[in-house]
Structure 1
């Protein structure tokens, strides 16, 4: 027979365990799960940084060039770095979701089937359409001027750089949507359901928190301002809309990718403050920064805000047409946990 602790100490130990461990769900509580996920991502990120250095210090780039003779090393390095980044985040989120959260990976918005891909295609088309609308309105009003077509930075190939950025922006959309919306928003929406807080209220708070974080993640970008940080946070709400209305990341993934790619590669705008050095149609801002977003890009101006509002309406209409209903998806805040005790 194992010795029993004195009653006061036993009660205290039980309270300490209760603070960190949910016995009914057989997993750590939300703050500990998030902290461990951050540590896991940091550890895997160090490995990704080491791989990145290997690719950029010459040895890795030379190996890539040898494996693919006739290819440009620079674009190969960028593609490889994007793939490493995606793999790092996906691995960290996968381990955290399955091992710490006891979730199914599909609960992060990946019930992938034919319908999922159709919605992803809609998101992709929507991003291009909204950015094209910004260009048309801006040019018609004299706020933008077309200066060149099929532009590429000196010494760069339009096709090579365009293809490289296709992979790069796809990687950015996957990593950010998986980490911010799929993992963090889902965990917060569930974990904030405390006492009288309903699932819908918790989800609304989770969207605001993750969108604010999304804005802060871009606050150190080139040419960032307080206004750009606020509008990027609003873009976070925009990207979350498809997820919270459908329970899937299909629309946000397609939208995030195509918005960035159209903004930078198709129309030559800065993408969150960064010019990518290639443009199908190169544009220059001639109107007020308040409207155009200035050197940060359209998403920091009133044109971008208007496009985001229109996009939210379009997403709501699409979900309503596809599902026959319009409302917050309860599966976001009530995931089906693995090994739950019945």
Structure 2
């Protein structure tokens, strides 16, 4: 195997998986750094006039959404550019089929995230590990602040899933399938993408080794929704409401970060090992239990949706763009966006 063969897949006419991931890092890193530097200036520039016109709450809310949107938009655009011109994929090949089935899966993910976090909150309350000390904080502009949290977690849910599951997990699985088979490739790719996901949160405030391991396990739960359906709908929905209900509804920290507004104000008094302490419920043993329950629920949902429990073919077998003419003939959109057609699955 020559140097060119090591780096280039002649059959697929694209770089091999490790090089594709490296190229994504290069394509993403410089714009992301530039955007993060520019975002602070942009947010600072609009904050003063917004605060003068609409008050401090509105200025803070808009600044938060704008900052996250700029960062998330840059990462998402970089992934899509790398995907189209390096990976030779369409948007739907990243798990965005966006038909009726996709939105049903997303609704399930949204309900699951809200339900799991509600279950955790009620468990803490029943055990006496959390005390409700108030509601609707802060009183000044709480509605606009909560709406801003919805926007922030929506952006975070989409771009983190696109990057971690849609791009990294998929490329890793494709690259490994010829070496360890489909099942082994997906297991290894899930472990790799989840490890990266956990390490990305390792420097958050109040992070510990335990919290990092817990976030790795959260990555496995989110990956299950992708590999069993071939779509990002379930993990995106789950990611959004897991964060939103954790912080915006029940007042817990979200991955160590305070969110600044919540429907319920709480003080956590239970043992950190069980509750997650200052990092949030996802770092506690009960949170890990909720992740296990969520993974099982996703498996049951996928079986009901597809009639089987198997790895979606699209996770390991790419449907690549062939030529410009093919793109013009086929288009990038699903020809029948309302057609009920789950992503195909293949048994090991």
The alpha carbon displacement at 1:281 in A equals 1.4
Correspondent of 1:30 among 2, 17, 21: 17
How many residue pairs get aligned? The number is 321
The alpha carbon displacement at 1:279 in A equals 1.6
Q: Is contact 2:18-2:172 (8 Å) kept?
A: no
Query: What TM-score, normalized by structure 2, do the two folds share?
Result: 0.88
Q: Is contact 1:199-1:330 (8 Å) kept?
A: no
Specify every segment of 5 or more residues in structure 2 that has no aligned partner in the other structure, as ranges: 324-348
Equivalent-residue separation in structure 1 for 2:308 and 2:50 (angstroms): 50
**What is the SS of the residue equivalent to 1:275?**
coil
Query: What TM-score, normalized by structure 1, do the two folds share?
Result: 0.90
Equivalent-residue separation in structure 2 for 1:315 and 1:269 (angstroms): 24
Q: Is contact 1:190-1:334 (8 Å) kept?
A: yes
Distance 1:191 1:63, change over 3 A: farther
Correspondent of 1:123 among 94, 97, 109: 109
Where does residue 326 of structure 2 map in the other structure? none
Alignment of 1:213 onto 2:199: no
Where does residue 174 of structure 1 map in the other structure? 158
> Structure 2 matches for 1:81-100, cutoff 5 A?
81-100=67-86
Equivalent-residue separation in structure 2 for 1:220 and 1:55 (angstroms): 25
**What is the SS of the residue equivalent to 2:226?**
helix
Where does residue 128 of structure 2 map in the other structure? 142
Correspondent of 1:49 among 23, 36, 44: 36
Which string of whole-angstrom CA distances, capped at 9 and with x for unpartnered residues, describes residues 249-306 of structure 1? 0000000000000000100001001111212112211111111111111101111011
The alpha carbon displacement at 1:85 in A equals 1.9
Equivalent-residue separation in structure 1 for 2:251 and 2:46 (angstroms): 30
**What is the SS of the residue equivalent to 1:24?**
coil
Equivalent-residue separation in structure 2 for 1:242 and 1:35 (angstroms): 25
Q: Is contact 1:192-1:202 (8 Å) kept?
A: yes
> Structure 2 matches for 1:193-204, cutoff 5 A?
193-195=177-179, 197-204=180-187
> Structure 2 matches for 1:5-84, cutoff 5 A?
15-57=2-44, 59-62=45-48, 69-70=53-54, 72-84=58-70
The alpha carbon displacement at 1:64 in A equals 6.0
Where does residue 176 of structure 2 map in the other structure? 192
Alignment of 1:288 onto 2:271: yes
Equivalent-residue separation in structure 2 for 1:323 and 1:101 (angstroms): 27
Equivalent-residue separation in structure 1 for 2:40 and 2:246 (angstroms): 29
Q: Is contact 2:40-2:67 (8 Å) kept?
A: no
Where does residue 287 of structure 2 map in the other structure? 304
The alpha carbon displacement at 1:330 in A equals 2.0
Equivalent-residue separation in structure 2 for 1:305 and 1:337 (angstroms): 37
Equivalent-residue separation in structure 2 for 1:45 and 1:64 (angstroms): 26
The alpha carbon displacement at 1:56 in A equals 3.4
Q: CA RMSD in A?
A: 1.7
Equivalent-residue separation in structure 2 for 1:242 and 1:111 (angstroms): 15
Specify every segment of 5 or more residues in structure 1 that has no aligned partner in the other structure, as ranges: 1-13
> Structure 2 matches for 1:251-270, cutoff 5 A?
251-270=234-253
The alpha carbon displacement at 1:16 in A equals 2.0
Where does residue 6 of structure 1 map in the other structure? none
Q: Is contact 1:85-1:175 (8 Å) kept?
A: no
Where does residue 206 of structure 2 map in the other structure? 223
Equivalent-residue separation in structure 1 for 2:78 and 2:310 (angstroms): 31
The alpha carbon displacement at 1:63 in A equals 6.3
